Amino acid sequence: MKTYPLKFRKALIHSGLSEVEFKAYWNRLLEVQKEKHTSKE
């Protein structure tokens, strides 16, 4: 089980989504950020 930052917890509460839905969304965000980093090089 990955530990998520406090930012994740706060965003989860504010979003009103279920934890499962929000995890999928969060993981997608991380993937997009990685893609941006790799495309810059």
Closest CA to 22 of 10, 34, 32: 10
Contact 23, 11 (CB under 8 A): no
| Angle at the Cα of 29 from the Cα atoms of 31 and 3, rounded to 5 degrees | 90
The structural domain count of the chain equals: 1
Residue the block writes with tokens 């929000």: 22
Q: What pLDDT shows up at residue 28?
A: 92
Q: What pLDDT shows up at residue 33?
A: 87
22 located within any domain: yes
30 located within any domain: yes
The model's pLDDT over 7-38, given as tens digits with 9 standing for 90+, comes to 888 988 888 989 899 899 889 988 998 888 77
Longest pairwise C-alpha distance within the chain: 36
25 located within any domain: yes
Q: What pLDDT shows up at residue 1?
A: 53
Q: What is the pTM of this model?
A: 0.55
1 located within any domain: no
Q: What residue numbers bound the domain in which 11 lies?
A: 6-40
Q: What pLDDT shows up at residue 4?
A: 73
Q: What pLDDT shows up at residue 41?
A: 58
